[in-house]
Amino acid sequence: MKFEDYSIAPEIKRNLESLGFKRPTDIQFKAIGTILKGEDVLAIAQTGTGKTAAFVIPILHILHERKTSSRAEGIHCVVMVPTRELAIQITSVFETIGKHTRVKIFSVFGGVEQDPQIARLTKGIDVLVTTPGRMFDLVSQGHIVLDNVEILVLDEADHMLDLGFIKDIRDLIKHLPRKRQTLFFSATINETIKKLAYSLVRNAIRIQVSPKDPVSKNITHSVAFISMDDKRFFLERLIRENIAGKILVFVRTKVRAERVMKALERVEIDSKTIHGDKTQEDRFDVMQQFRAGTVKVLIATDISARGIDIPDVDFVVNYDLPDVAENYVHRVGRTGRGMKKGLAVSFCSPEESAILAEIEAFVHKPITVLEINKKDYSETLDLTQETSGKWKATMAEIEQAEKWMRKKSKKAGKSK
């Protein structure tokens, strides 16, 4: 079946055609018709399968067709997501696919001034894409009214639960009409998610894509056993050997992200970081640079692993293995998206071997080991010997200067 065969607005069909979308992916094929019929949906689909368009396309058609002069004003669809980046991305998808339709889309999220958001809300919107915190701030202030909501979408629901948003989700329901269509999308499913989902949906159609293989088949996986202190040298080598590639590096913490960036800076490799301590303006700017390819190396924490559609990422590097095995799937899903191929390389130190075992159990298969003999290992360290030697020499000079100052200070004390 092709998109042109669907009973959707011609404006949407033209936009899909201009984007090069001809046939729906599995999740889109299974979800679009069901949503158009007004059914509730519980969808489990791995990242990179096109699930955003799976709900954006039918929602745009429904609201475009229903929107008339006699229609009640106000917000008719709420899409709740866990992160600001995902809110921005989904809004962009709505705007791109919904170009020339009568549907107005807007997103609100924290980390930026609320006054411009309030000003835009007063002009009237149909679809609100939002993160929980800022939305409830504006609801409590009376700037967001949810009485006319007909469709609720919870996207990346499992990640929202990980971030502790379950109370926010339940509080949201209190503000919505009981008679509504609910679309629940998640990359993974467990008892907690299942319990929440079935408390929100009514006679939902359950859709599950690739349940036995949580990782895209377009991704080639490998793991290299590397000492924690040596990881920066192997990262440098990978970057230099793939100088034209777009490389997304995942680390465990914000502090680690900054340290890795500084380590690359010392060997004259440009990179950027993205994590929760960055302002929204900085995060948006960095993501734009990485998408455009002006920045080739982006170092991120897991906040960027979920739902972010970054085109043409050649490598995902797990500099640190994730604390939770599920997050491996979300990280590596940033490459090999759609029909494109991708490479995922993990650096595993001896202290991370237990995490690696959990990841392999979660993805139901062993990850191919990149064998590194002693000679190759030593050569990789030697690649940075000159630069790191200069850096070490500088540190030694500083230490010598400090020792000299301490001795001088002691002598001055004794003379007194």
Residue 309 belongs to a domain: yes
76 plus 197 within the same structural domain: yes
Token pair belonging to 352? 């991370």
Residue 144 belongs to a domain: yes
303 plus 246 within the same structural domain: yes
Mean pLDDT of the chain: 86
203 plus 141 within the same structural domain: yes
199 plus 233 within the same structural domain: no
322 plus 253 within the same structural domain: yes
User: What is the arithmetic mean of pLDDT over 358-382?
Assistant: 90
175 plus 285 within the same structural domain: no
pLDDT digits (tens, 9 = 90+) for 111-166: 889 999 999 999 999 999 999 888 988 998 999 999 999 999 999 888 788 777 88
For residue 188, the SS3 value is: coil
Domain boundary among 183, 208, 233: 208
pLDDT at residue 276 in the model: 78
Cross-sheet strand order for the sheet of 247-250: 219-225, 342-348, 315-318, 247-250, 297-300, 272-274
Residue 48 belongs to a domain: yes
pLDDT at residue 53 in the model: 94
* pLDDT band, very low/low/confident/very high, at 181 (cuts 50, 70, 90): very high
Taking the C-alpha atoms of residue 324 and residue 170, their distance in angstroms, rounded to an integer, is: 25
283 plus 342 within the same structural domain: yes
Residue 287 belongs to a domain: yes
pLDDT at residue 327 in the model: 85
User: What is the arithmetic mean of pLDDT over 247-275?
Assistant: 93
Q: Is pLDDT at 262 greater than 90 in this prediction?
A: yes
For residue 152, the SS3 value is: strand
Residue 285 belongs to a domain: yes
Q: Is pLDDT at 395 greater than 60 in this prediction?
A: no
Domain holding 10, by residue range, is 3-208
pLDDT at residue 24 in the model: 92
What is the gyration radius of the CA atoms in the chain, in angstroms?
25
Residue 99 belongs to a domain: yes
* Domain CATH for 177: 3.40.50.300
Domain boundary among 177, 208, 239: 208
Domain boundary among 208, 243, 275: 208
120 plus 100 within the same structural domain: yes
Q: Which residue in 120, 103, 196 sits closest to 154, CA to CA?
A: 196
198 plus 266 within the same structural domain: no
User: Do β-strands 297-300 and 342-348 pair in parallel, antiparallel, or remain unpaired?
Assistant: unpaired
Taking the C-alpha atoms of residue 125 and residue 112, their distance in angstroms, rounded to an integer, is: 19
pLDDT at residue 346 in the model: 96
pLDDT at residue 306 in the model: 62
Least confident of 15-19, 170-174, 385-389: 385-389
User: What is the arithmetic mean of pLDDT over 389-396?
Assistant: 50
* DSSP assignment string, 67-109: --TTSPPS--EEEE-SSHHHHHHHHHHHHHHTTTSS--EEEE-
Residues paired with 219 in a beta bridge? 342
- Are 90 and 112 spatial neighbours (Cβ–Cβ below 8 Å)? no
Residues paired with 343 in a beta bridge? 220, 315
Residue 408 belongs to a domain: no
User: What is the arithmetic mean of pLDDT over 291-320?
Assistant: 84
Taking the C-alpha atoms of residue 13 and residue 98, their distance in angstroms, rounded to an integer, is: 10
327 plus 203 within the same structural domain: no
Q: Which residue in 189, 150, 161 sits closest to 58, CA to CA?
A: 150
Residue 157 belongs to a domain: yes
166 plus 273 within the same structural domain: no
pLDDT at residue 410 in the model: 61
Taking the C-alpha atoms of residue 342 and residue 37, their distance in angstroms, rounded to an integer, is: 36
How many domains does one find in the chain?
A: 2
pLDDT digits (tens, 9 = 90+) for 71-92: 667 899 999 998 888 898 899 9
CA 325 centroid distance within chain: 16
Token pair belonging to 220? 């080639």
pLDDT at residue 391 in the model: 46
More confident residue, 317 or 401: 317
pTM of the model: 0.69
295 plus 352 within the same structural domain: yes
Q: Taking phi first (over 0 means left), then psi (-120 to 50 degrees means alpha), and beta for anything else, what does residue 309 get?
A: beta
User: What is the arithmetic mean of pLDDT over 47-61?
Assistant: 90
pLDDT at residue 412 in the model: 56
